[in-house]
Amino acid sequence: MFAFLDRFLSRSEASRDTAKNRLKLVLMQDRSVIPPAVLERIRTEVLAVLHRYVEIDQGALELNLDRSEGSVALLASVPIVRVREDATQLLADAVAADAAAATAVPSEGAPAEAASAGADADSVIEAVATGLAGALSETAADAQVGTEATAGEAEADDASLARPAGEAALT
């Protein structure tokens, strides 16, 4: 009864539910075939690629495994501080050099405008790669990359369609 009142007054979650939720999260990692060390490596590599094009709030980067309906998804939330001014040039270079690995590329076609728009810290790139569990070697086969740039000036650069990540689509 006291526990109930306490929860009612403080609006804190019942520890039973906390236990359940924490377990679900930790078991997601335990059950996935991606060991933490590999996940960390994916994180640093994805970060390195993103870093070439955009300035990222590294502290706020989140990379998590999500399990639903028998498949494991890798969810990345990457807060963008600023898009680099030379992003387009870099992109062209990168495509030429056949940049490897799954990554998000900037959708901005006009670097000048993008640079100012990029100052908006709300810009977030969310990358979802499903089916990772069974396909470590093809890390981002089904990568879906969406950018929520608030500037509204974003146009898909032709070059960006040539990114290596298989069926990736911009939204």
Buried b (16+ CB within 10 A) or exposed e, 44-70: eebbebbebbbebeeeeeebebebeee
Q: How far is the CB of 19 from another protein (least distance, A)?
A: 5
Contacts with another protein in 25-84 (CB under 8 A)? Answer: 26-27, 30-31
Taking residues 6 to 25 in sequence order and writing x for each that binds another protein by CB under 8 A, - otherwise, the string is: -x------xxxx-xx-xxx-
Q: Say how far apart CA 155 and CA 142 lie, in whole Å.
A: 22
Q: Which two tokens stand for residue 98?
A: 């056949």
- Classify 19 as helix, strand or coil: helix
Q: How far is the CB of 27 from another protein (least distance, A)?
A: 5
DSSP 8-class letter at 22: H
Q: Which is nearer to another protein, 8 or 122 (CB)?
A: 8
Stretch binding another protein (CB under 8 A), from 3-11, 49-57, 138-146, 147-155: 3-11
| Binding site residues, another protein, CB under 8 A | 1, 3-4, 7, 14-17, 19-20, 22-24, 26-27, 30-31
